[in-house]
Amino acid sequence: MIYEKAYNVTIDQVMAALKRRDAEERIPVLRLELDYELATLYDALKQRDTEQINQSKQRLKQLRREMLLLEA
């Protein structure tokens, strides 16, 4: 079972995302970036590369936040 943490998004962040004209074009690109970063994380986990694992996790957090703002 997957558990998600509560995520707080401010109204200003939602409004900024809605104002972006390219939001519909950005979402497919963002999904590709998420897939790539997940593959990078998988490889780092297999190699036990803790530095790359941490970098990938941070990048995934940023991408997740952007995705939530665009889809809100």
* Structural domain spans, the chain: 11-71
pLDDT tens-digit series, residues 13-66: 777 766 666 777 888 889 999 999 999 999 999 999 999 999 999 999 999 998
Asked if the model's pLDDT at residue 7 lies above 70, the reply is no
Give the residue carrying structure tokens 């109204």. 11
Confidence (pLDDT) at 32 = 94
Confidence (pLDDT) at 70 = 80
Please tell me which residue, 70 or 67, carries the higher pLDDT value.
Answer: 67
Pick the closest to residue 60 from 44, 39, 37 (CA basis): 37
Q: Return the number of other C-beta atoms located less than 10 Å from residue 38's C-beta.
A: 13
Q: Map residue 23 onto helix, strand or coil.
A: helix
* pTM across the whole model: 0.68
User: What is the per-residue DSSP string for 27-54?
Assistant: HHHHHHHHHHHHHHHHHHHHHT-HHHHH
